[in-house]
Amino acid sequence: MLRFLSQAGKYFLLLKKVFSRPEKPTVYLRQTMFELHNLGFNSVGIISIISFFMGAVIVLQTAYNTENPIYPTYLIGLTCRDMLLLEFSSTVSGLILAGKVGSSIASEIGTMRVTEQIDALEMMGINSASYLILPKVIATLLFNPVLTLLSIVVGTLGGWLAGTTAGVITSEDFIYGIQYAFIPYYVTYAIIKTLIFAFIITSISSFQGYYVEGGSLEVGRASTKAVVFSSILILLFNVILTQTMLS
Amino acid sequence: MIRIKGLEKAFNDKVVLHDINVSFESGKTNLIIGKSGSGKTVLLKSIAGLHEPDKGEVWFGDILFNKLDFNSKKEIRKEMGMLFQGSALFDSLTVEQNVKFPLDMFTLETPEEKIERVNFCLNRVGIVNANRLFPSELSGGMKKRVAIARAIALNPKFLFCDEPNSGLDPVTAIMIDALIREITEEYSMTTIINTHDMNSVIEIGENIVFINDGYICWEGNKDEVLRSDNELLNEFIFANSMAKHLLTPRKK
């Protein structure tokens, strides 16, 4: 318990350092643009692929498990839309990004720590925590909602293609279903969840990397811890947010 | 000038530095020598502010550095340069970007002026036609030289070098030593070098501090180091039988 409190304290102190005034905003802006490409744009491929198949499986599973004449088939489209909006595109994408982006951040910052590159930044009078972490946090906060929206669109497309190809739903029913009883608030809910998950992924992974001590073995461990802790926190906050925002 | 008064540092329960009192003069190459694990790097990093001392004072001129707040320390750090054991060049940046980095962060020079300064620093350390290379494409000696170029980019008053010769062949090591000494004299910097390389001790040791198990055991210069009657120092200096030949003046 004492160790947990100590780590939590260390984490919040790091955040205080991260959100202090940047030395030179133009350099930070350049770094943020780089991270937008590195952490955001480079994740478009994996999110698209996963979302496409997620949407396809949702449609097929829904169709094969609700084979009952009293259920109208457009409900398959509606289920696909709501599952993507409410859970899959934000939470599952968050978990995927925790693996891809989280491990990348922890190993990058961890390697910089063990090779004294962070010490070099500090020696120059640069707030290393802010310089290394803040652009990553801003980049993911800006780009992850885009990834979530992309995931919803691609997932829906995957569902439509799988459903119509397998013959479980007609194109008209699917399109009617995804428009039926649409609640715009669900999009807001998905975006808010994405923002919180993005912050969890970058801050937890950066924390794990920033305080690495030792060598390559410890960097590997930090990377694993980053993914594990980020994933657990994403799942925990998913429950909390669902309860607070949808109840 | 850098003065250390009663500096102590421990990690958990292990005391690494005990009551360190020492001065390092400006315009001279000050060497901290000692065995591996004797506390040299911890001392250097405590002086540079990378470790917070548990006790004691670190004075940079008339400024009590280790008691300053974070922002004031940042200002003093702009006057420091450090050469790390592994060079610590930024992997994702080219040679030119590495040297330009402190200029980007702390100066308002135009891009042309920055490039001019970068080229001057790189030429000063003998690096030519390598601006576009990444650190992974450089040899160990080149990395050290680029790191020196980066360290002097902002004309620092204080230069710290942590084992600048480690992993280098003797010829390159001598060249790095000579470069550090020349730069120290040229810019009248206060330079502190951690080393256990006897060549460095003999070649550039204008002021030498011998540290053993976290205690300062001996202070002197390169002329005195080979003739000291300090047993611990002699054990360190003459651990290698070849070192005994250093007592004989070398022909150049």
Residues B242 and B190 in one domain: yes
Query: pLDDT at residue B249 above 80?
Result: no
| B178 found inside a domain | no
pLDDT at residue A199, as a whole number: 97
Residues B162 and B242 in one domain: yes
* Per-residue confidence band for B197, with pLDDT thresholds at 50, 70 and 90: confident
- The answer, for A27 touching chain B at a CB cutoff of 8 Å, is yes
| A11 found inside a domain | no
Query: pLDDT at residue B136 above 50?
Result: yes
- The answer, for A214 touching chain B at a CB cutoff of 8 Å, is no
Rounded Cα gap, residues A226 and B215, in angstroms: 40
Closest Cα in chain B, distance from residue A115 (Å): 6
* Per-residue confidence band for B44, with pLDDT thresholds at 50, 70 and 90: very high
Nearest residue of B to residue A118, measured between CA atoms: B88
| A43 found inside a domain | yes
Spell out which residues of chain A touch residue B160, defining contact as CB-CB under 8 Å.
123
Question: Once rounded to an integer, what is the mean pLDDT over residues B100-123?
Answer: 91
pLDDT at residue B241, as a whole number: 61
Burial tier of B36 (Cβ tally within 10 Å: 0-12, 13-18, 19+): exposed
Average pLDDT taken over every residue of chain B: 87
The reply to whether residue A119 touches residue B82, judged by beta carbons under 8 angstroms, is yes
Nearest residue of A to residue B105, measured between CA atoms: A24
Query: pLDDT at residue B107 above 50?
Result: yes
| B55 found inside a domain | yes
- The answer, for B183 touching chain A at a CB cutoff of 8 Å, is no
Residues B193 and B205 in one domain: yes
Residues B233 and B146 in one domain: no
pLDDT at residue B252, as a whole number: 45
Residues B196 and B74 in one domain: yes
* Per-residue confidence band for A21, with pLDDT thresholds at 50, 70 and 90: confident
pLDDT at residue B36, as a whole number: 86
A180 — phi, psi (to 5°)?
Answer: -70, 130
Query: pLDDT at residue B251 above 80?
Result: no
pLDDT at residue B244, as a whole number: 61
Structurally, chain A folds into a number of domains equal to 1
Most A CBs within 10 Å, among B68, B89, B105, B106, to test the A interface = B105
Domain that holds residue B22: 1-79+157-167+186-252
The reply to whether residue A125 touches residue B74, judged by beta carbons under 8 angstroms, is yes
| A176 found inside a domain | yes
Residue the block writes with tokens 């980019």 = B153
Count of C-beta atoms within a 10 Å radius of residue B251: 4
Question: Once rounded to an integer, what is the mean pLDDT over residues A50-61?
Answer: 95
Most B CBs within 10 Å, among A124, A127, A136, to test the B interface = A124
Closest Cα in chain B, distance from residue A217 (Å): 18
Question: Do residues B223 and B46 touch, judged by C-beta distance below 8 A?
Answer: no
H-helix or E-strand containing B10?
A: strand B2-11
Residues B121 and B72 in one domain: no
Question: Do residues B146 and B128 touch, judged by C-beta distance below 8 A?
Answer: no
Average pLDDT taken over every residue of chain A: 93
Residue B193 to residues B6, B41, B147, B208, B216, Cα–Cα distance (Å) = 20, 10, 14, 9, 15
pLDDT at residue B186, as a whole number: 85
3-state helix, strand, coil in chain B (%, to 5): 40, 25, 35
- The answer, for B101 touching chain A at a CB cutoff of 8 Å, is yes
| B103 found inside a domain | yes
Burial tier of B211 (Cβ tally within 10 Å: 0-12, 13-18, 19+): buried
pLDDT, tens digit, 9 for 90 and up, residues B8-27: 999 988 899 999 999 998 88
Rounded Cα gap, residues B164 and B87, in angstroms: 8
- The answer, for B167 touching chain A at a CB cutoff of 8 Å, is no
- The answer, for A124 touching chain B at a CB cutoff of 8 Å, is yes
Rounded Cα gap, residues A63 and B62, in angstroms: 79
| B179 found inside a domain | no
pLDDT, tens digit, 9 for 90 and up, residues A177-234: 999 999 999 999 999 999 999 999 999 999 999 999 988 999 999 999 999 999 999 9
- The answer, for B78 touching chain A at a CB cutoff of 8 Å, is yes
| B69 found inside a domain | yes
Structure tokens at B97: 């970007």
The reply to whether residue A27 touches residue B88, judged by beta carbons under 8 angstroms, is no
**Type of residue numbered A81:** R
Residues B112 and B11 in one domain: no
CA A67 from chain centre, in angstroms, equals 34
The sign one gets for the Cα dihedral B25, B31, B35, B41 is positive
Domain that holds residue A202: 24-246
Nearest residue of A to residue B46, measured between CA atoms: A123
Structurally, chain B folds into a number of domains equal to 2
Question: Once rounded to an integer, what is the mean pLDDT over residues B228-247?
Answer: 73
pLDDT, tens digit, 9 for 90 and up, residues A94-131: 999 999 999 999 999 999 999 999 999 988 888 999 99
Residues B151 and B161 in one domain: no
pLDDT at residue B242, as a whole number: 60
The sign one gets for the Cα dihedral A118, A124, A129, A130 is negative
Question: Once rounded to an integer, what is the mean pLDDT over residues A70-75?
Answer: 88
Question: Once rounded to an integer, what is the mean pLDDT over residues A43-63?
Answer: 95
Residues B149 and B163 in one domain: no
Question: Do residues A18 and A134 touch, judged by C-beta distance below 8 A?
Answer: yes
Interface of A with B in 152-181 (CB under 8 A): none
Of the candidates B135, B155, B175, which is a domain's last residue? B155
Identify which of A112, A115, A123 has the shortest CB distance to residue B82: A123
**Type of residue numbered B151:** A
Residue B25 to residues A123, B192, B204, Cα–Cα distance (Å) = 20, 9, 14
Nearest residue of B to residue A120, measured between CA atoms: B88
Nearest residue of B to residue A117, measured between CA atoms: B88
For residues A133 and A1, which has the higher predicted lDDT (pLDDT)?
A133
Domain of B39, CATH number, reads 3.40.50.300
For residues A143 and B155, which has the higher predicted lDDT (pLDDT)?
A143
| A8 found inside a domain | no
pLDDT at residue B247, as a whole number: 58
Q: Is the pTM of this model over 0.80?
A: yes
Spell out which residues of chain B touch residue A127, defining contact as CB-CB under 8 Å.
74
pLDDT at residue B25, as a whole number: 86
Residues B75 and B108 in one domain: no
- The answer, for B82 touching chain A at a CB cutoff of 8 Å, is yes
Spell out which residues of chain A touch residue B89, defining contact as CB-CB under 8 Å.
117
Residues B4 and B55 in one domain: yes
- The answer, for B108 touching chain A at a CB cutoff of 8 Å, is no
3-state SS, residue B159: strand
Residues B2 and B67 in one domain: yes
- The answer, for A13 touching chain B at a CB cutoff of 8 Å, is no
Closest Cα in chain A, distance from residue B100 (Å): 12
Burial tier of A211 (Cβ tally within 10 Å: 0-12, 13-18, 19+): middle
Question: Do residues A227 and A99 touch, judged by C-beta distance below 8 A?
Answer: yes
